[in-house]
Structure 1
């Protein structure tokens, strides 16, 4: 395109044609990935450089109506921005995405942002399929975190399956001691019946916190007239293990329940994706929620709702209220194009290696302390018991780690509160500390965190 429209004009300026042909090689190499993205609408194998991503976003954002220098903008929402700094921060997508009736609907004043949103959906969908969710049919990038996205997915599913939520407003939720998913479900007016977690040997032949299938069936039978859905979990902090979602999906199909999987940070684990793929094939899975910042290294504020039912995704899109910020979709598209599929696979490999290092280091530390590393097989984090430490020492551990500039560990002090353990202190009688080896973490930070943890243990014992 560049050669056909520009070359002749440049030749008229005195530049020989053979020089123009040679000099355009670099430009063609630079723009080729952008052209391929529009043609293939899938994640590239290799990541792009920042200039290519910037050029793509620049071109798309300049398709929005607020970039027309002759436009007469008199509406209440016309992409008027107080400073160029703000426009730069959101990639120039001032109009946002979607319309009042549907999140994924093309926006007349934001053709470029609509294209960007569509590309973000297509690119993330192609990555999820290539990583192992080969049986999903569609996905939607939403401008909300995991908790609110669970609520949106449930609201869309209720509408899609035409379930009267005033008569059936109860949701079974396997115990996840995290406020976001709980608030997300309650936000749409549903009532939660928590399926309690238990600690011990489980269906994954490991020692961890799990959900008893017989208990799910028993609780459902007592409330069957009021239950509309079940929310399960595949990714949470150790020693929590993924729910037995294959059996639960069969249960959901048998009882015609909506089944939504909270897979907040499970994309980074091929083992977790395999579990989800098997559940889709075995029974009924309606939606799978994954956080963009936890899985794809973006700023906080977005999620991907995936489903083996493309029509359900459309209904979920229509359940979103109003137009939305374009930033989460832009952040995700930027991150995925930057890494490419091979880059993401490399980070998954590094995550797995880091987890092994973390497990080994914590196991050695546990032996020195007379503690143990809970053998739960969690794919992202590890839990180290604190059975030899006093409540006063445990209460100080988090503060000492913070002062040592270690961010991210979780201290579960069961003497102070059971919340966070996904069970109770009758089931799991000792407190513990959780360390993570999530995607994007550097090996050096794993090793430094262990050093600081050792130092913190010495400090709290000296006090």
Structure 2
């Protein structure tokens, strides 16, 4: 209400009450004024009513919501189902224009304003998370893998003769499929085993770059967040290598925003080497439905100019308009949490990482297993698997030599923050009880048990899922996977010949201590089940996999 309407309202309702309501309205308008002027996350998060009022005001600026508007085009933002209209706050036009996803949509001033604000808030979020060198951000309505593909397509326009992507191996399919989708050739660089941790093989990366020549290499696609025992890639050495050879560097930071060490690592790489684009997921880092990503460009450092140009090219590469829904989700969440709320979640996650390592490590040791030392990974932990299942050995075809292990491990602590450090971290220390320290690579099992088939190991993960524990992954390093013609030996382990079967779990943003406690209890119960089955098999019965076949989820 404006001042004139408030005066009219005072003729109907006690003036004191009207003025009180007007003060609340003014307070909410001040929130919006601050948002428009500062273009940063609010320190204290907004309440839901304030966010909804803003969404309704922005929707009212789109032409499909103009009173008396007559649309005679083929796309006029018509919503036929009221449920759909309410779900999307009548924001129906989408974002961008047919030639550029970052362009203002003339029919949708409100939607365009929302997108500009979302980009500004996302940039502020990333800077606060530990990367102050970032200079711009673009929130896309595509998940991480497709967003990486869009980055590669934009780079391909800039470097049409370059057809190869150097990819330090990460056994999650999205990156590899993004490379193949864009018609490029992936050059898979296996990691190397240092102690028990899998690290970037810089010698192999350098050798492949030299063999191909920088003019044929589109970019190096490195990764930060990953499943243990893989460490984040050595971003600083990679960034310096790329800067020296004039090769673009794209960072897959899928769920790394929630981990301050990873963000600081990216920032150091950007300021002291070349980083062209950093891609992160909205669902993993902001707790929204799957379908969005934030692409960041750096604003400082040797690669700043190229990074800024690439972000603009990415916007112009997207074909057609795009959905605004994932961007609305991210925008609302950043407003709701505020800077203080998000920072509190990050601190809570770090505490949960230590607690998860302690709780899971305690259960593991009680059943003859232990945590694998991978201290450079701030999000994920890995646990050996085999003793409780009665395994004798794992028939892992470890090739040995330089293919499996780096020539020399780095100094304890990981050097200059490049993510490849050895020596373990706080999560490792949290679970080392008396006699628990490792003295070399984990073994598949000890004792005099029998050799297990892969299905008997994966049955362990299936039983956890049946007990409503989602997210745990069992990795059998003898697995072989062919993805669009690319063979990956030891799939799941990020490297050929890892010497242990293991499972991984993670401490992610939004996880509660109660969830970890419940998981530890259920993990212990599953270990007990498999131990009983193993003893029964040893007495002449059937094996664990047969005894513990996953039950039908429907409860038949």
Class of the TM-score when normalised by the shorter of the 2 chains: over 0.9
- 2:495 corresponding residue in structure 1: 423
Aligned counterparts of 1:13 and 1:58: Cα–Cα separation in 2? 26
Tell me the distance in 1 between the aligned counterparts of 2:13 and 2:350: 58
CA distance, structure 2, for counterparts of residue 379 and residue 423 of structure 1: 20
Q: Is 1:281 aligned to residue 351 of structure 2?
A: no
Aligned to 2:155: 157
Q: Gaps (5+ residues) in structure 1? A: 202-206
- Greater displacement, 363-372 / 137-146: 363-372
Instruction: Compute the RMSD of aligned alpha carbons.
Output: 1.6
Tell me how far 1:172 sits from its aligned partner: 0.2
Q: Secondary structure at the match of 2:227?
A: coil
Is the 1:43–1:341 contact (alpha carbons within 8 Å) kept by the matching residues of 2? yes
> How many angstroms apart in 2 are the aligned matches of 1:23 and 1:88?
26
> Hey, what does 1:401 align to over in structure 2?
464
Partner of 2:206: 217
Instruction: Provide the rounded CA distance (Å) in 1 between the counterparts of 2:65 and 2:357.
Output: 53
Map of 1:250 onto structure 2: 240
Which residues of 2 match residues 11-410 of structure 1 at below 5 A? 11-13=10-12, 15-16=14-15, 20-159=18-157, 162-164=158-160, 167-201=161-195, 207-224=196-213, 225-308=215-298, 309-377=307-375, 378-388=377-387, 389=389, 390=391, 391-392=452-453, 393-410=456-473
More deviation in 271-280 or 304-313?
Answer: 304-313
Structure 1 counterpart SS, 2:70: coil
Between 1:128-137 and 1:29-38, the stretch displaced more is 29-38
SS of equivalent to 1:289 = strand
Task: Measure how far apart 1:351 and its partner are.
Answer: 0.3
| In the alignment, structure 1 residue 444 sits paired with structure 2 residue 514 | yes
Normalised to the residue count of structure 2, the TM-score between the two structures is 0.78
Aligned partner of residue 43 in structure 1, secondary structure: coil
Distance 1:295 1:459 in 2: 35
Distance, in Å, in 1 between the alignment partners of 2:260 and 2:21 is 44
Q: Could you give the per-residue CA deviations for residues 226-247 of structure 1, whole angstroms, max 9, x where no partner exists?
A: 2121000111011111111101
- In the alignment, the residues of structure 1 paired with residue 180 and residue 254 of structure 2 have an alpha-carbon distance, to the nearest angstrom, of 18
Q: State the structure with bigger RCO (CA 8 A, min sep 6), 1 or 2.
A: 1
Distance in 2, Cα, partners of 1:438 & 1:422: 21
Does structure 2 conserve the Cα–Cα contact (< 8 Å) formed by 1:233 and 1:243? Answer: yes
What is the distance in 2 between the residues matched to 1:12 and 1:48? 32
- In the aligned structure 1, how far is the partner of 2:506 from the partner of 2:17? 55
* Structure-2 change in CA distance of 1:368 and 1:24 (3 Å): same
Which digits, 9 at most, give the CA deviation of each residue in 1:197-233, with x for residues without a partner? 12224xxxxx411111111101111111521210001
CA deviation after TM superposition for structure 1 residue 14, in Å: 7.1
1:350–1:177 distance in 2 versus 1, CA, 3 Å: same
Preserved CA contact (<8 Å) 1:91 1:330? no
- Contact 2:155–2:218 at 8 Å: present in 1 too? no
- How far does residue 193 in structure 1 lie from its aligned partner after superposition? 0.2
3-state SS of the aligned residue for 2:515? helix
Task: Tell me if the contact between 1:232 and 1:261 (Cα under 8 Å) persists in the aligned partners.
Answer: yes
Q: What is the deviation of 1:11?
A: 3.9
Deviations 1:256-305 (A, max 9, x none): 11100000000001111110010001110000000000111110000000
Does structure 2 conserve the Cα–Cα contact (< 8 Å) formed by 1:208 and 1:240?
A: yes
Give the Cα–Cα distance (whole angstroms) in 2 for the partners of residues 395 and 277 of structure 1: 38
Instruction: Report Cα offsets for 1:145-198 as digits up to 9, x if no partner.
Output: 111111111222333xx311xx31001001011111111122111110011012
CA contact (8 A) 2:156 2:162 kept: no
CA contact (8 A) 1:90 1:327 kept: yes
| Larger gyration radius, structure 1 or structure 2 | 2
Q: Which residue of 1 aligns with 2:531?
A: 461
Q: Which runs of 5+ in 2 are unaligned?
A: 299-306, 392-451, 481-489, 534-556
Shift of 1:6: 2.5
Give, in angstroms, the shift of residue 15 of structure 1: 4.6
**Alpha carbons 1:401, 1:452 under 8 Å: kept:** yes
Whether contact under 8 Å (2:219, 2:248) holds in the other structure is yes
CA distance 1:199–1:9, change in 2 (3 Å) = same
Task: Tell me the residue number matched to 1:204.
Answer: none
Q: Per the alignment, in what secondary structure is the counterpart of residue 257 of structure 2? A: helix
Aligned-partner SS, 1:285: coil
Q: Residue 434 of structure 1 aligns with which residue?
A: 504
Q: CA deviation at 1:319?
A: 0.8
The secondary structure found in structure 2 opposite 1:137 is strand
**Offset at 1:13?**
4.7
1:90-129 Cα deviation digits (max 9, x unpaired) = 2321111011111110111111111111111011111111
Question: What is the distance in 2 between the residues matched to 1:144 and 1:269?
Answer: 22
8 Å contact kept, 2:359–2:516: no
Quote the Cα distance in structure 1 between the aligned partners of 2:353 and 2:132.
26
